[in-house]
Each structure stands twice: as structure tokens, then as C-alpha cells.
Structure 1
Amino acid sequence: MKDVFRRLVSDFLSTIVFLVIYLATDNVILATAVAIIGAIAQVAWSRYKGQTLSYMTWASLGLVIVLGSLTLLTHDPRFVLAKPAIGHVAIGIIMLKRGWMLRYMPPVVSETIPEYVTVAGYAWAALMFVLAAGTVAVAMTGDMKLWAFYISVVLVGTKLGAFAIQYAAFRLIVGSRIRAAARA
């Protein structure tokens, strides 16, 4: 689990850096420039350490450079604000693969309720698409404070809430199935 969170932070580090710099300075151009430099430095450091970089890391770097450069050239923050939406769409597409969640589940869950895990995987994909649409809608307003709130509170809170609901539902369903099997 710790590895998953570390990987997510790594994949979205440039967005985190952008958000922190923007909130500290209220300067979109500075935050964008620092995010671009930070993303390049992160990849350079990883390559220097001999690490193999994931597709997501390279894609994130490309998005930061392209969208960040467009923001710097046009002084329009909406380009860089849309980056998290692109990431959510990419993740949502990956989550459309049938049964993708099964490998992340404990054996008792994947063996007892695989059909529910598959449905939950599709629900997570749908959630990613909805969050991406919300990110684009908020980015199009150009309101940096609203975007910062949406990215840091709404996106994170929604995912944590969905995870908690899934955990509780799976726990109830697995428990019910195990009790039913014991009675039979």
C-alpha cells in the first residue's frame, strides 16, 4: 500500500509542486515554471539513480512540458489546470480493463466476490471520468482558488470516500457470503 501511495505522489508530483507554489505565491507563471523545472529534475534524478521510469512518469513529464509551456506562452493558466483531467482520463481508460482490481484485493475478497470487484473496477473508471470532467469544468472558469480547492479537497476527498464505501461494502458482502457458506 505504501508503494502505491509513493508511486501516485511521484506521478503527480508536478501537480503537487504547482499547487504548493501557487498557494504560497499566488503567481501562476512562477508555479508553472517551477512545476516544469521540478518535473524535469525528477526525471533526471530518477534516470541518474538508474531507475526504470513508468509510462505514467514519461506521460506526466510530457504533459507538464507541453501544457506548462502553453501556459507560459499565452499567460493562460487553463492549459496547466487541465493536466490532472488528462491524467484521470488516462487512468480511467486503464481501469476499463475487466478485472483490473482483482490483483489488488486480498485473496479472501478476490476469491469470494470477484464479480463485485469487477463491477467496482468499472465504477472506479467512471469516477475517474467524472472527476476529469469536473476538473476541466473548474479549469475553464480560470478561477485559481476554486481549482486549488477542487484539486486538493474534492478530488482527494471523493477518492477517499469511494475507497471507504468500497471497503465497507466488500467487508459486508464477504462476511455475508462466508456466513452463508458456513451455514450450508
Structure 2
Amino acid sequence: MSKQLFYALGPLIFDSLGVIVFALLLALDVDLIVATAAGTAVACAVVGWELLRGRPVAALQWLSLVMVLFSAGATMLTGDPRFVMAKPSIVYVVIGAAMLRRGWMNRYVAPEELPLIGDVMEKFGFVWAGMMFATAVANLVVAIAFTPWWPAFIGFFPMASKLGLFAVHFAIVQIVANRRRRMGGAVAVE
């Protein structure tokens, strides 16, 4: 089970590293420009690392990098706090839309496990997309109606909700996989 956890958690953290750095720095009251520049540098480093290793860069990594570069540029040019507060909603909607593609979660599962749990992973792909859309709406509500609470919200809720869903997702996948192994069968991935 720890092997499967590492296999799933490693790419998840790696893919989100730029956003994690940005959110942590923002939560620590680091200057917005510094937090944005640091998140951008980390997102660029993630893509660069994959390219240097000769590995394909996942669509979500490219999308994340483009969104970070675009939003970082707009933030630095405008310095407008309303743009900064709305920016995560735009990012969450774009990422949620990308997550509606079937099979995007396959890279988070060991290839030998895919025939066993591929159907469950596909369903959770849509659950993840739904969570991204819900987070986008929540961000807008907090940014507009509860502006003073926005830094605490953005520093805590997106990461906490992702970690919570990851825990539920991982537990359910492990339960289903173990049950199917005991039954001696695999489910074909469509």
C-alpha cells in the first residue's frame, strides 16, 4: 500500500509544486510579487526537469505553467489585488475543464494496476474536476463577499480540499483494488 501511495502522491506533489510554493508564501505574508515569482520559478523548474530527463510533460503540467506565467505577468504588470483574487478561479476552471478528459489520471497509477482500477480512476477524474469547479466558485465568493478572509482562504482551503479528496480517493481505490484482487478479476479499462 505504501508503494501505491508514493506512486500516486509523488506526481501529485510534483505537478502542484509551483502552486504549493505560491500558496505557502502567500499564507506566510510574503510579498505578492515575491510569492508569484517564486511560484513561477518552481513551475518552470518542474517542466524543465521533465524535459531534461527526456520524459513527456503531462498536459496538466504545461497548462499549469502557462497559467502561472500568464497570471504572474498580469499580476506584476497591474498590481491589482482584484485580479490576484480572481486569478485562482480562472485557473481552477481551466484545470477543471482539462480534468474532464477521460484517462487523465492514468499517469498516477502504476501501469500494472491500471487494468484493475482504471475504471475507478476515470470516475475519480470527474470528481476531481467537480472539486476544481467548486473551488473556483468558492474562491470568487470569498474574494467578493469576504475579501478580508481571502488570504486565509487561499492559503488553506484549496490545499486542504485537495489533500482531503486525495485521502478519500486513495482509500477507495485501495479498497476496490484489494476486493478485486481477492475476487481474482480485473476490470477492463474503456
Same-fold status (TM-score > 0.5): yes
User: Is 2:23–2:154's contact at 8 Å kept on the other side of the alignment?
Assistant: no
Larger Rg: 1
User: Is 2:86–2:140's contact at 8 Å kept on the other side of the alignment?
Assistant: yes
Choose which of 173, 178, 181 in structure 2 pairs with 1:175.
178
Alignment of 1:141-160 (within 5 A): 141=145, 143-144=147-148, 146-160=149-163
Deviation at 1:155, TM superposition (A): 1.3
Find the aligned partners of 2:25 and 2:97 in 1 and give their Cα distance.
25
User: Is 2:21–2:39's contact at 8 Å kept on the other side of the alignment?
Assistant: yes
Deviation at 1:179, TM superposition (A): 1.2
TM-score by length of 1: 0.73
Deviations 1:88-112 (A, max 9, x none): 1121111111111122112454211
Choose which of 130, 135, 142 in structure 2 pairs with 1:131.
135
Find the aligned partners of 1:148 and 1:118 in 2 and give their Cα distance.
33
| Amino acid paired to 2:116 | T
- Runs (5+) with no aligned partner, structure 1: 23-30
Question: Which deviates more from structure 2 when the two are superposed, residues 157-166 or residues 86-95?
Answer: 86-95
Which position in structure 1 is the counterpart of 2:34? 34
- Runs (5+) with no aligned partner, structure 2: 1-8, 53-60, 186-190
| Amino acid paired to 2:32 | T
Identity %: 26
Deviation at 1:170, TM superposition (A): 0.9
Find the aligned partners of 2:167 and 2:124 in 1 and give their Cα distance.
12
Choose which of 58, 64, 75 in structure 2 pairs with 1:56.
64
| Amino acid paired to 1:9 | L
| Amino acid paired to 1:32 | L
How many residue pairs get aligned? The number is: 168
Alignment of 1:86-105 (within 5 A): 86-105=90-109
User: Is 2:43–2:68's contact at 8 Å kept on the other side of the alignment?
Assistant: no
Which position in structure 2 is the counterpart of 1:25? none
| Amino acid paired to 2:65 | T
Deviation at 1:115, TM superposition (A): 1.5
Change (3 A) 1:65 1:176: same
User: Is 1:35–1:64's contact at 8 Å kept on the other side of the alignment?
Assistant: no
Deviation at 1:160, TM superposition (A): 0.8
User: Is 2:26–2:151's contact at 8 Å kept on the other side of the alignment?
Assistant: no
SS at the partner of 1:98? coil
TM-score by length of 2: 0.71
Question: Which deviates more from structure 2 when the two are superposed, residues 10-19 or residues 119-128?
Answer: 10-19
Which position in structure 2 is the counterpart of 1:84? 88
User: Is 1:18–1:34's contact at 8 Å kept on the other side of the alignment?
Assistant: no
